[in-house]
Chains A and B, each alone.
Chain A
Amino acid sequence: MIAVIDYGAGNIFSVKNALDHLGMESELTSDAQKITAADGIILPGVGAFPEAMRMLQKSGLIPTIREEAHKKPFLGICLGMQLLFEKGYEFEECEGLGLIEGSVIKMEEPDLIIPHMGWNRLERLNPCPLMNDLPEDSYVYFVHSYKAECEDKYIAAYSEYGGRVPALVTDGSTVFGAQFHPEKSGDVGLQILRNFGGLIK
């Protein structure tokens, strides 16, 4: 069973819909025991970094997430991916979950349309099991105004938008993060979720 963490942020139903469609068993939950008992964890999220951290703080789930993320496949999506890093700079400096070294900064380039909204191509940098069986030309759907800044070794794939935008990141072990929305990225996104399911024993 995959625990989809429900901490009051964003449209978590789309993630659930996609998992249902793929026949992957999942449950929306904010219960630490269920998260601990789950075989995999997804941290969704839409909105602002500090507000999301505050809501996670309030839910009391942060210690559970930090511990469980190293024990079983863990996928952060969009803001959920950004929260994996050590620090965020959306409106104010804010501590993240610190599961991957790096920070989250505003996308700022002259003449760059913000948010980065729409379909962009995945440019592969490092091997990652979530990219198994993807077509060479794989586009995924992004909506965000902030991006991760981290070492190349954590970046499985990036997209080009006013420079490199880390798209799929991993600690090389159990922690994964997708800046894009796999649940809204058509067949490519569904394959990525299927691959994530494949990691679950």
Chain B
Amino acid sequence: MLAKRIIPCLDVRNGKVVKGVNFEGIKDVGDPVASAKEYNRQGADEIVFYDITASYEGRGVFLDVVRETAKQVFVPLTVGGGIKTVDDIRETLRAGADKVSVNSQAVQNPQLVHDGADIFGSQCICVGIDAKKIADNKWTVYINGGRVDMGIDLIDWVKKVEQLGAGEICLNSIDADGTKAGFDIPMLDAVCRAVSIPVIASGGAGKIEDFSEVFEKTGATAALAASLFHFKELTVGQVKEYCRGKGVIMR
């Protein structure tokens, strides 16, 4: 049986982890390669790097980080942020990413998802989505880090994304993000029912029970968290052990 995945996400700016991780034994708390290795040691099923660099120079440094991580960590590596063209996808994959994650750009230019899937295969195109509730069982899609409401219905969008050839969706709930009150179960459930590609749950994880809950109540195949793991509130290993105890299949 397929195991559910636990995915730590690292935000990287100018080659350094934002809100540096303070793991034991790591001298440079901002070193993304060292952090990725630590997450790997904890049993992370996949690692996400999110580039929040604005500059061209920063991009080069970021890709060096990806390259170095791919030489040392042998689990799947997903890279998001700043990917606007097919060439960006190619460059990122060549640096050693296994998948790229596109968010705002997919909304503004859906052809990018189609072309990326066509050229590199669906398996390496993950579409990230930020969505917010507007009524019962109704959500709309936002872009630019959750700042701009595009007025697009979430369910219509996820179906379109699947049709365009995306291999996976990473669904972030703007309402749940940062609350630590748990994943957005109704939204995730609605999306998992609407598509037949894998869905990663993102946003809202605050305690260990949130992870088993999302796997028990929705069809999500993976759960992603950033600050929870950054700030060592929980380790990936603790989360996996807890879920396993609840009967969720874990690697």
A: which residues have CB within 8 A of B? 10-11, 13-14, 17-18, 20-21, 46-48, 111-121, 139, 141, 143-145, 159-161, 181, 183-186, 189-190
Contact = CB atoms under 8 A, between A and B. Distances in A.
Contacts of B93: 11
Given A17-B74, A139-B3, 18 more contacts: A11-B94, A14-B96, A14-B98, A21-B72, A47-B120, A48-B121, A115-B123, A117-B123, A117-B221, A119-B3, A143-B98, A143-B167, A144-B123, A159-B2, A161-B1, A161-B2, A181-B76, A184-B74
A69 B45 CA distance: 33
Contacts of B98: 11, 14, 143, 184
A114 B196 contact: yes
B224 to A, nearest CB: 13
Interface of B: 1-5, 40, 45, 70-72, 74-76, 93-94, 96, 98, 120-124, 167-168, 196-198, 219, 221-222, 251
A22 to B, nearest CB: 10
A121 B222 contact: no
Contacts of A143: 76, 98, 123, 167
Given A141-B75, A186-B40, A115 B167 contact: yes
B121 A118 contact: no
13 contacts: A11-B96, A14-B96, A17-B96, A18-B74, A48-B121, A114-B197, A115-B122, A115-B167, A139-B251, A143-B123, A144-B123, A145-B123, A185-B75
Contact of B1 (A14, A18, A121): A121
B219 A113 contact: yes
Contacts of A21: 71-72, 74
